[in-house]
A and B are shown apart, each in its own frame.
Chain A
Amino acid sequence: MKLELRDVRYVYAPGTPFEVEALKGVSVVVEQGEVLAIVGGTGSGKSTLVQHMNLLLVPTSGEVLVDGVDATTLKKSELRRRVGLVFQFPESALFAPTVEEDVAFAPRQLGLDEEEVRERVLESLRALGAGDLAARSPFGLSGGEKRRAAIAGVLAMRPEVLVLDEPTAGLDPATREDLLNLILSLRESGVSVVLVSHDLDEVAEVADRVCALHEGRVSTVGTAAEVFYGDPALAPATVRVASLLRGSRPGMGNPVRSQETLDALRALQGT
């Protein structure tokens, strides 16, 4: 699926003294099977932007297009099955007595038979390394386990576009890596992933393209290398190391991922 936002403006509380224009004309495309990262400071409009991707928020002006079709003409339930949105701290929405039932809630609404629902639930939990949690109560889980259960609930819908808003905040480093690997394997299977993150180091490991927001506008968009080498304020640690060396060692190239960077540094040292 190709998802396109065209000149989207969004105003919170219009016509009141609290009116805030959170998005001031944002255009961005999510291509089929890519990982697009949305970065930017607190309050830059990242969360507001991604909530337009399944029309949880409807633009004040501008358009959301799904494969070129105006998304407002599609059935909402259909749109939300195809574009799965995982909020910040999604674990606060867990409610069922067991993890399995919680994850099953959304796919069951699709009218699938029980066997299919169960299969999808276990598949999603396993993809998150959480297969052993199925029978547990969501309320007795640790923060990282809850997060995985909540993401599994959206994954079980088998969305074509998965939107993750700060999915790794508060996760331990190994769980964070598992989640980044899941993003890469979803991309392998043709799913598009939109990753909202303030952690540029994790964005560097998975993003094909990066869209940076600043005060409700796109400040820069391009391949990860273009964006990270174009603006020092947006450079992850790998790019900062490489940038410091490029002046005196022109053969460095533009490495972004840590493995690429390691290879470039090894070549530099002649090891």
Chain B
Amino acid sequence: MQNPGEGIRPGGSFAVSCEKVSYSYPGSGRPALSGVSLDLRQGEYVGVVGPNGGGKSTLVRLLNGLLRPGSGRVLVSGRDPATEPFEVRKHLGVLFQNPENGLVAPFVEDDVAFGLENLGVPREEMLGRVARAVRAVGLEGYERRELHTLSGGEKQRVALAGLLAVEPEILVLDEPTSMLDAVGRREVLEYLQALRSEKTVMHVTHHLEELTGADRILVLNGGELVADETPERFFSNADLLRENRLVLPVVPRLALKLGFPPAKLSTPEQLAEAILARTQSGTRTR
């Protein structure tokens, strides 16, 4: 980045900032987003959840300039995606739900390079960036593999590498695991975790267990931002979950019903350990 200070404009100290943003789709009576204000600090990992039709996808499209707000203002790294979409997309990359829809080239390395070619990055630099991105998602040795021979999880990692090669500071993940099987999901989530310290991440998902490690969880319902909570408070707020058509995943739900704090126990291993610890101490005191 030639001018690192350039992103700091009014409201630009946040990676993403939305001020009373509203949007209605043409011909729809009801706004898809109404009066949403939110900020993402640099380096934060923020989850976004809510029912279908709550406004999550609309928010994502406003952030990368696919839609323009009807009123209010969006700033991404200090820039307005409605007027500078191409500039914004260098700073903010979106990983969509279904990797099949976003892959364009026959070979892995060509696909990863696609975004850079569009930005006119010189070839030498491009080779270096592609190699780094492929390494970052654990796909070394796959450079010349044909995409159609890859599994769903591998394809989603190729899509992620394509984003990383552009080197955006902000990653928006729009249900990145919903088309993947259990193994593919774990793969992709692992690589996303590895990016935590370097990137600002907004992670939209229906799989609440993916957010136990988030800094904050935002809830969008009926186009409004109805909650902004830490995972601990979010997972133990039964009313908030019910009102927003959210259901605790299996393990935290079992944990809660057995009297454990649900946010701390998101994996089967953690729950089994807690139960063992409790039954052992129980037998000792008896």
Contacts and interface: CB of A to CB of B under 8 A. Distances in A.
A175 interface: yes
Contacts of B152: 41-43
A200 to B, nearest CB: 6
B178 A170 contact: yes
B186 to A, nearest CB: 11
Contact of A174 (B180, B245, B258, B278): B245
A45 to B, nearest CB: 13
Nearest to A146: B52
Interface string B34-67: 0000000000000000111110010000000000
Contacts of A201: 249-250
Contact of A173 (B175, B181, B247, B268): B247
A269 B249 contact: no
B79 interface: no
A126 interface: no
B268 A42 contact: no
Contact of A238 (B179, B184, B250, B259): B250
A89 B8 CA distance: 42
A80 interface: no
Contact of A268 (B153, B208, B279): B279
B221 to A, nearest CB: 10
Contact of B151 (A42, A140, A236): A42
Contact of B276 (A41, A141, A174, A245): A245
Interface centre among A41, A42, A233, A248 (most CB of B within 10 A): A42
Contacts of A132: none
B275 to A, nearest CB: 6
Nearest to B257: A262
Interface in A229-271: 233, 236-238, 240-241, 244-245, 248-249, 258, 261-262, 265-266, 268-271
B52 A175 contact: yes
B272 interface: yes
- Say whether chain A's binding surface is mostly helix, strand, loop, or mixed: helix
Interface in A119-156: 140-145
Nearest to B30: A140
Contacts of B25: 140
A172 interface: yes
Contact of A169 (B27, B178, B249): B178
A177 interface: yes
B211 interface: no
Interface residues of B, number: 43
B275 A269 contact: yes
Contacts of A143: 52-53, 57
Contact of A241 (B153, B249, B268): B268
Contact of A145 (B53, B180, B254): B53
Contacts of A270: 279, 282
Contact of A198 (B182, B206, B251): B182
Contacts of B282: 269-270
A171 interface: yes
Given A43-B151, A143-B52, A237-B251, A244 B272 contact: yes
B13 interface: no
A43 B275 CA distance: 38
Contacts of B27: 140
Nearest to B51: A172
B272 to A, nearest CB: 4
Interface centre among A40, A141, A198, A249 (most CB of B within 10 A): A198
A241 B251 contact: yes
B225 interface: no
Given A177-B247, A237-B250, A238-B250, A172 B268 contact: no
Nearest to A137: B27
13 contacts: A42-B181, A142-B52, A142-B53, A142-B54, A143-B53, A145-B52, A170-B52, A170-B178, A172-B206, A237-B249, A240-B269, A241-B275, A265-B275
Given A141-B53, A237-B251, A245-B275, 14 more contacts: A42-B180, A43-B152, A140-B27, A143-B52, A145-B53, A172-B50, A172-B54, A173-B206, A173-B247, A177-B247, A238-B254, A244-B268, A249-B279, A258-B250
Interface of B: 25, 27-28, 50-54, 57, 97, 151-153, 175, 178-184, 206, 208, 245-247, 249-251, 253-254, 257-259, 268-269, 271-272, 275-276, 278-279, 282
Interface of A: 40-43, 140-145, 169-177, 198-201, 233, 236-238, 240-241, 244-245, 248-249, 258, 261-262, 265-266, 268-271
